[in-house]
Amino acid sequence: MKHVSFSGRLVMLGFGSIGQGVLPLILRHIDMPKDRISIVTGDARGAEVAAEYGVSYRLRPLTRENYRAELAPLLGEGDFLLNLSVDVSSVALAELCQAQGALYLDTCVEPWVGGYTDPSLTPSQRSNYALRESALAAGRAVTGGPTAVMTHGANPGLVSHFVKEAMLNIARDTGKPTAVPKTREGWAALAQSLGIKTIHIAERDTQVAGFCKSRGEFVNTWSIDGFVGEGCQPAELGWGTHEKFLPPDARRHDFGCDAAIYLQRPGASVRVRTWTPQEGPFHGFLITHNEAISIADYYTVLQDGAPAYRPTVHYAYHPCDDAVLSLHEFAGKSWHIQNSKRLMMDEIISGVDELGVLLMGHEKGAYWYGSHLSIGQARTLAPHNNATSLQVTAAVLGGMVWAMENPRAGIIEADHLDHVRVLEVARPYLGELVGAYTDWTPLLNRGELFEEDLDTECPWQFRNVRVA
């Protein structure tokens, strides 16, 4: 089924696991000739897949000095740059596309190489909060320009649409008005009226290979460089108005929207309690992600210029078991990456990626909504994907279709897109979409083994969620 016809040129920047996985979906659902698609990449991964589909492939590492010269001839009015690269500034690319009249989409706001760990920058300056503020500033300068969709993979991206669908389901099930809000203010008012205090992007990946990780090897089901980069950034979370206790290692930013805080430690070293339907309770890593900030900001209700309502929002991620072992080894080597890296794909023999959002504090307690996608389903649905990558590539496809249908929206985030349309495009590749209520709280079965400093009056305090 073709969702949209596109007459421009498409440049795919980067061709790792997500690029290789999304190309078959683009060819399947976007009506455009192959000879108008070109791949520009900084390493030799994926050359065989490009050849399989007959798509132009160029090995051109991009830098601050050469990116304009390399990309400008490939992008003009009505063309599209799909950025799936690492170590190339997303804001620089989005601004180039604005100047060229081209559409743009990426899966995260990426800095130039070294930006995540630059010792000359403060933790605040190298945070996702700061990267997002730079993207928002670029967006304010080009209102109504060519559409540039920032941060639209699975998360950030798809999960913002899950939040809206989950809120509508809770409203329906609690007898609240269920008319779909038309504005940001309307969505924020709905969240406040439902009493949602905390939102986890709660993900448990159980995919397993036929053989185990080796010593000195980092294994994961999606971009290792991307995971390591964000895992080394400070842990970040949107900070809700219901919170009573600022963590002792927390800091606020002295610029921007003030919707988030950061902790003075890498996200890969911070664990939090959360829940998904298949796994039940578990400990996840509080890895920084753009959606933790953008969702908290989007659902803020202001009164006299100050936040009267805002939920706490953060990622709670348990990657595949071999990735957890990889993180443990990585941290033990003083955060020096292993010499060998392996992206799990064909060797996966079983498992599910359970990716969704857990909305807590409302009348029915907690509600998880999201995707249950097994490796078997992923292989049946699309080539060159595992369960994790297909959740990302489906979201990329949905964002691309929306951008092509809405080409003059300027620089925007996932929260501003039509969630119904994006989910309509992505849904066939997400396995089973599940909604589940639970009586779980972060206080469940606590205090039986050790005496803990808990807030029993409000279970949704971050103090109760964080693992000491």
Question: What's the confidence (pLDDT) of residue 421?
Answer: 98
Distance in angstroms (rounded) separating the CA atoms of residues 313 and 238: 5
Distance in angstroms (rounded) separating the CA atoms of residues 107 and 17: 13
pLDDT of 420 above 90: yes
Q: Which residue carries 């950025």 as its tokens?
A: 83
HEC string of the chain equals CCCEECCCCEEEECCCHHHHHHHHHHHHHEECCHHHEEEEECCCCCHHHHHHHCCEEEECCCCCCCHHHHHHHHCCCCCEEEECCCCCCHHHHHHHHHHHCCEEEECCCCCCCCCCCCCCCCCCCCCHHHHHHHHHHHHHCCCCCCCEEECCECCCEHHHHHHHHHHHHHHHHCCCCCCCCCCHHHHHHHHHHHCCCEEEEEEEECCEECCCCCCCEEEECCCHHHHHHHHHCEEEEECCCCCCCCCCCEEECCCCCCCEEEEEEEHHHCEEEEEECCCEEEEEECCCCHHHHHHHHHCCEEECCEEEECCEEEEEEECCHHHHHHHHHHHHCCCCCCCEEEECCCCEEECEEEEEEEEEEECCEEEEEEEEEEHHHHHHHCCCCCHHHHHHHHHHHHHHHHHHHCCCCCEEEHHHCCHHHHHHHHHHHCCEEEEEEECCCCCCCCCCCCCCCCCCCCCCCHHHHECC
Domain locations along the chain: 4-150, 158-389+427-465
pLDDT of 116 above 90: no
pLDDT of 451 above 70: no
Structure-model confidence comparison of residues 467 and 118, the more confident one = 467
Would you say 84 and 107 are in contact if contact means Cβ atoms under 8 Å apart?
yes
Distance in angstroms (rounded) separating the CA atoms of residues 206 and 415: 28
Distance in angstroms (rounded) separating the CA atoms of residues 258 and 307: 10
Question: What's the confidence (pLDDT) of residue 450?
Answer: 65
Amino acid at the residue 303: Q
CATH classification of 158-389+427-465 is 3.30.360.30, yes or no?
yes
Same topology, domains 4-150 and 158-389+427-465? Answer is: no
Question: What's the confidence (pLDDT) of residue 468?
Answer: 85
Segment 457-466 mean pLDDT: 96
Distances in Å between the Cα of 228 and the Cα atoms of 121, 151, 200, 244 are 18, 18, 21, 32
State the pLDDT confidence band at 448, using cuts at 50, 70 and 90. low
Note the pLDDT tens digit of each residue in 332-390: 999 999 999 999 999 999 999 999 999 999 999 999 999 999 999 999 999 999 999 99
pLDDT of 133 above 80: yes
| Beta strands at 80-83 and 10-13: parallel, antiparallel or unpaired | parallel
Global pTM reads: 0.97
Structure-model confidence comparison of residues 449 and 243, the more confident one = 243
| Closest among 170, 187, 155, 147 to 410, alpha carbons compared | 147
Homologous superfamily of domain range 4-150: NAD(P)-binding Rossmann-like Domain (3.40.50.720)
* Encoded tokens for 139: 């967006």
% pLDDT > 70, the chain: 99
Question: What's the confidence (pLDDT) of residue 117?
Answer: 79
State the pLDDT confidence band at 449, using cuts at 50, 70 and 90. low
* Encoded tokens for 14: 């980067």
How high is the mean pLDDT of the chain?
A: 96
> Which of the residue ranges 57-66, 425-434, 443-452 would you say has the lowest mean pLDDT?
443-452
Note the pLDDT tens digit of each residue in 196-208: 999 999 999 999 9
Distances in Å between the Cα of 166 and the Cα atoms of 358, 383, 389, 437 are 9, 30, 23, 11
| Closest among 404, 381, 403, 405 to 393, alpha carbons compared | 381
Contacts of 441 (CB under 8 A, 6+ apart): 360, 365, 366, 459, 460, 464
Segment 156-177 mean pLDDT: 96
Segment 228-253 mean pLDDT: 96
